[in-house]
Each structure stands twice: as structure tokens, then as C-alpha cells.
């Protein structure tokens, strides 16, 4: 199956999209399929507006409100995560629900995934040793703010 080479992720097939929605306990409506596909194919951590722009190239009748509603249902179902971004900026969404950290560039607003098993082990050991008062951690996600170093 041909897919455009400028797209960062290969377009997932419809069966895969249906399976992901079913796993999350969501009905695979046509709108949800198109919205999930756009979320998965857009690189990085898109805003609802960016997802909407992508969606209307296929389904011009879908409103931004519908995109927001669908994304919120994905978040509630554990299919998507909402990513903390800078104050006052649009909500960002992450289709990758595996544990990872984020580097947030304050200049470009770019959110870069950051994975390091050694860091994860350090954090786990720290909280295992120190504990948290009246709080049981389930997962960890660091949000590191900074700016890209231009070489």
C-alpha cells in the first residue's frame, strides 16, 4: 500500500484502527476512525486544531467540536493521552500511551518524546526508597521545559 513519504508514520489500515477502538471499548464510527487515523499519522503531539485540519481533507463535514469530543473520548478510554503543554497553549494529544517523558521546547512549542530506561529505574528506586505520603504512584512522566540547542 502506497503512503506519502513526507508523513512521519505509515498510515495504519482500517482493521488496525477498528481493533484499537474496540480494545478501548469505543464504537468504530466513521468519524472516530478518521480522527484516530489523523492523530496516529500526524508527527509529534498534535493539537485538536491540527488533527481537525488533517481530518477535513478526508471528511470536510467534521467540525472542530466533533474532533474535540472524539479526542476526549479517546483520552477517557485510555487510547490517547493529553500532554501538558505550556500555559495558555492549546491542548496537545499523544497517541503513544506507553510510558515516556517529554521535552518541551519553549521557542518552537515542539514536544519531543524522551525515553530512557535508566532514568525510569532511577525514579522508581527513588520513590520505592522514599515513598510518597498518602499517595501510590502508578506511572511517571517527566515534562522537561527548555529550548533546542542550535549547533
Binding site for Zn ion (CB under 5 A): 94, 113
Q: Hey, which bits of 60-106 come out as E strands?
A: 81-83, 92-94, 101-105
Asked if 73 and 67 count as a contact pair (C-beta separation under 8 A), the reply is no
3-state helix, strand, coil in the chain (%, to 5): 40, 15, 50
Nearer to Zn ion, 62 or 74 (CB): 74
Quick one: three-class SS letters along 40-68? HHCCCCCEHHHHHHHHCCCCCCCCHHHHH
Provide, rounded to whole angstroms, the least separation between the CB of residue 1 and Zn ion: 26
Determine the residue with CB nearest Zn ion: 94
Nearer to Zn ion, 113 or 125 (CB): 113
Provide, rounded to whole angstroms, the least separation between the CB of residue 117 and Zn ion: 16
Nearer to Zn ion, 37 or 94 (CB): 94
Provide, rounded to whole angstroms, the least separation between the CB of residue 4 and Zn ion: 22
Nearer to Zn ion, 66 or 141 (CB): 141
Provide, rounded to whole angstroms, the least separation between the CB of residue 114 and Zn ion: 8
Asked if 12 and 37 count as a contact pair (C-beta separation under 8 A), the reply is yes
Q: Dihedral through CA 98, CA 120, CA 8, CA 82, nearest 10?
A: 50
Nearer to Zn ion, 62 or 104 (CB): 104
* Cell numbers found for residue 115: 525515553
Provide, rounded to whole angstroms, the least separation between the CB of residue 104 and Zn ion: 10
DSSP state of 107: T
Amino acid at each position: 500500500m502506497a503512503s506519502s513519504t513526507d508523513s512521519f508514520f505509515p498510515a495504519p489500515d482500517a482493521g488496525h484502527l477498528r481493533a484499537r477502538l474496540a480494545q478501548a471499548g469505543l464504537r468504530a464510527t466513521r468519524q472516530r476512525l478518521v480522527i484516530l487515523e489523523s492523530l496516529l499519522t500526524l508527527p509529534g503531539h498534535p493539537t485538536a486544531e491540527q488533527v481537525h485540519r488533517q481530518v477535513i481533507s478526508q471528511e470536510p463535514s467534521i467540525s472542530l467540536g466533533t474532533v474535540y469530543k472524539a479526542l476526549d473520548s479517546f483520552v477517557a478510554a485510555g487510547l490517547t493521552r493529553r500532554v501538558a503543554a505550556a500555559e495558555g497553549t492549546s491542548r496537545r494529544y499523544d497517541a503513544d500511551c506507553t510510558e515516556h517523558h517529554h521535552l518541551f521546547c519553549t521557542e518552537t512549542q515542539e514536544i519531543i518524546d524522551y525515553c530512557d530506561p535508566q532514568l525510569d529505574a532511577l525514579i522508581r528506586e527513588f520513590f520505592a526508597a522514599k515513598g510518597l505520603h498518602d499517595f501510590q504512584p502508578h506511572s511517571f512522566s517527566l515534562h522537561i521545559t527548555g529550548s533546542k540547542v542550535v549547533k
